[in-house]
Every structure is written in structure tokens, then in C-alpha cells.
Amino acid sequence: MTLLAILMGTLTAGLGSVWLAALLSFGVLARYTQHMLSLAAGALLATAFMHLLPEAFEGSVDAHNLFMVLLAGIIFFFLLDKAELWHHGHEHGHGHDHSAHHDHAHTEHTEQHGNAPGTGIWAVLVGDSVHCFGDGVLIASAFMADLRLGMVASLAVLAHEVPHHMGDLSVVRSGASNRRTAFVKVSLAGAVTTLGGLLGYWLVERLQAYLPYFLVVASSSFVYVALADLIPQLQKRLGARETAAQVIWLASGVGLVTLVSGFAHVH
């Protein structure tokens, strides 16, 4: 039952995020791109602070150790992000600051990748596959702790991967691929989430005593992505109406996670 839930959760997060990204990039949902950033940030923070961390701290592991892992995890993902920025800066042969990285990830200034070479496209796809593999391990860890927690984690991963896959679709599309080819390539990368889920199931099952640490690492990933990647893009000088929309969509992300959690708990 748990393995089946992991397969369903990772497929939903991995492929569902690509399909939704395609609708936002190429389809009728394009005008909702910025709202997805707010929704994803709310979903990630709610999942980390309302579900993953409480579950991790319910065990017998010393809280001080868990907080150290949380801090180390955030620093690790910061360094990982730095390494990715450095790689892109050298790969494309121009300055590539943090804001430019975000523009790439969320297709707001895709023209800087208009002449991306084939090797650069494959580097993006390989990097995306590795990222999705890690997401799968995190989802499996959540399902191993609790079915409800796994469903919430799958939702959070789906939400935060949508903007990321929008950037991937843009870069792959710029390499002379048509939309369908770009969609297939990025979908294959997203499907790697399921492979990560299978490994996570095998790994966590044998390291059950370390499950709280896996959950804390997942939390550090969600917190870092929300605070360092998504929310900074929302820190713009906007009018009252646009600001209210951001807050509403952020709250909707929190509410969606709560709704899914309650639904899973009832069923």
C-alpha cells in the first residue's frame, strides 16, 4: 500500500508539475504564472512548518540535533544553488546573477537563453532529472512516515516544481525544439521523480530510525526554496490590488495543503 502511494504521489508531482507548467507556458493559463509563485510559496511553507517538522519532532530524536540538521540542510541547499548559478554563468559565458537565475527559472526573461547550445539544453535536462530524483526521495520519506504527510509533500513538490519546469520548457524550446518535443523531454525528466521515490522507499525502509532526519532535510529544502527562490520574486513594488492578490494566493497555498491534509486524514 505504501509503495503504491509513493508511486502515485511521485508520478503526480513529477509529471503533473510538467503538464501544469506546459499549460502555464503554452496554454490558456499563461496569465496565472505569477500567482503560481505565491501559491507554491504558501504550500511549501505550510508543508514544512505544519506537517513535516511536527512529524519529525514527535519522535524520540533530540530536538537540538534536528535543528542542527535543519540548519545544515538550508546551508547545503544554499551552496547547491550557488553551484548551479556558477555553472550557468560559465556555461553561457556571461554574468549570471541571482535575479537572472530566477528569470531563467520562471521564463520572465527567456531571451538570454535564446541561443542556448545543445549541450546547455542537455545540461538543464540532466540537472532537472537529478533535482526530480531528490524530490522523489523526499516524497518517499514523507509517505513512510504517514500517508497523509506523503500526500501533502507530493502536493508541495508539485506546486514548487511548476515554475521550475516552466523555465526548463523555455530553455529546451529555445534550442530549435518544437513545443511537443520540449514537453516530452521535460516530462521524461519529471518522471525521474518516481525513480527517486522507489529508491527512497528502499532506503528509508532500511533506515527507519533516521526517518526524522529525512523529514527535516525535506523541510529544509522546502523552506529554502520558498524563502530564497519564490518569495524574493514577489517582493516587488505593487499596487494594493496586486499585493492583495499575492497575499490571497499565498494563503490559498496554505489552505490547499490544509485541505489535502484534512481530506487524507478523513479517508
pLDDT tens string 227-249: 887 788 777 777 788 888 888 98
The per-residue b/e assignment along 149-183, b for 16 or more CB within 10 angstroms, e otherwise, is bbbbbbbbbbbbbbbbbbbbbbbbbbbebeeeebb
pLDDT number for residue 28: 59
Classify the phi-psi angles of 93: left when phi > 0, otherwise alpha if psi is within -120 to 50, otherwise beta.
Answer: left
**Spatial contact of 193 and 127, defined as CB atoms under 8 Å apart:** no
Tell me what the mean pLDDT of segment 156-184 comes to: 77
Q: Give yes or no for residue 203 having a pLDDT over 80.
A: yes
pLDDT number for residue 234: 77
Confidence of residue 177 (pLDDT cuts 50, 70, 90): low
User: What pTM was estimated for this model as a whole?
Assistant: 0.67
Lowest mean pLDDT among 32-46, 104-118, 121-135, 249-263: 104-118
Beta strands per DSSP E along 64-201: none
Confidence of residue 139 (pLDDT cuts 50, 70, 90): very high
Averaging pLDDT over each range in 27-41, 136-150, 216-230, which range is the top one? 136-150
Of 138, 166, 187, whose CA–CA distance to 16 is shortest? 187
What are the residues whose beta carbons fall under 8 Å from the beta carbon of 254, sequence distance 6 or more? 42, 43, 45, 46, 50
Tell me what the mean pLDDT of segment 97-110 comes to: 40
Helix, strand, coil shares, percent, the chain, to 5? 85, 0, 15
Tell me what the mean pLDDT of segment 160-175 comes to: 75
pLDDT number for residue 43: 84
Tell me what the mean pLDDT of segment 170-189 comes to: 78
Q: What percent of the chain has pLDDT over 70?
A: 77
What's the pLDDT tens digit per position in 19-67?
Answer: 888 887 776 566 666 777 788 888 888 888 988 898 889 877 889 999 9
| Alpha carbon distance, N-terminus to C-terminus of the chain | 14
Distance CA 53, CA 41 (A): 17
pLDDT number for residue 196: 92
What's the pLDDT tens digit per position in 27-40?
Answer: 656 666 677 778 88
Q: Give yes or no for residue 8 having a pLDDT over 90.
A: yes
* Bigger pLDDT: 107 vs 146: 146
Q: Give yes or no for residue 266 having a pLDDT over 70.
A: no
Rg (CA), the chain: 18
pLDDT number for residue 70: 94
Distance CA 264, CA 86 (A): 41
* Bigger pLDDT: 97 vs 77: 77
**Spatial contact of 148 and 265, defined as CB atoms under 8 Å apart:** yes
